[in-house]
Amino acid sequence: AQKVTQTQTSISVVEKTTVTMDCVYETRDSSYFLFWYKQTASGEIVFLIRQDSYKKENATVGHYSLNFQKPKSSIGLIITATQIEDSAVYFCAMTINNAGAKLTFGGGTRLTVRP
């Protein structure tokens, strides 16, 4: 079975700085997919970025990027030039090829961006 762990329960940063959120995962499968989602204050969960296990390049979307360290089973989310509206709970998640599309989520990291 898969397992996703986010050890940071909360982080606080000053706006316009860079923040990294950690995530480690466990799986016996050689092919898997890693995701980061953001839960806004209203409760809505929004897909941010993904990393496919077979890709060596770190994914980047807007001011989100990933630090994929496969040997360490680690997929960190990096947010550059943080803004107040980036304040949210961030979830790391994974799925594998034959898991019936089941997403396994980490416990989440609450990010607070302050002026």
Taking the complex as a whole, how short is the minimal distance between the CB of residue 47 and other proteins, in angstroms?
Answer: 5
Query: Which residues 68-97 are close enough to bind other proteins by CB under 8 A?
Result: 91, 95, 97
Residue of 102, 89, 109 lying closest to 27 (CA atoms): 102
Q: In the set 108, 109, 111, 113, which binds other proteins (CB under 8 A)?
A: 108
Alpha-carbon distance 98 to 102, whole Å?
Answer: 9
DSSP-based three-state secondary structure for 85: helix
Alpha-carbon distance 10 to 6, whole Å?
Answer: 10
Taking the complex as a whole, how short is the minimal distance between the CB of residue 107 and other proteins, in angstroms?
Answer: 5
Query: Which residues 52-71 are close enough to bind other proteins by CB under 8 A?
Result: 52
Query: Which residues 21-50 are close enough to bind other proteins by CB under 8 A?
Result: 33, 35, 37, 42-47, 50
Alpha-carbon distance 16 to 26, whole Å?
Answer: 33
DSSP-based three-state secondary structure for 87: coil
What does the binding site for other proteins look like in residue numbers (CB under 8 A)? 33, 35, 37, 42-47, 50, 52, 91, 95, 97, 100-103, 105-108
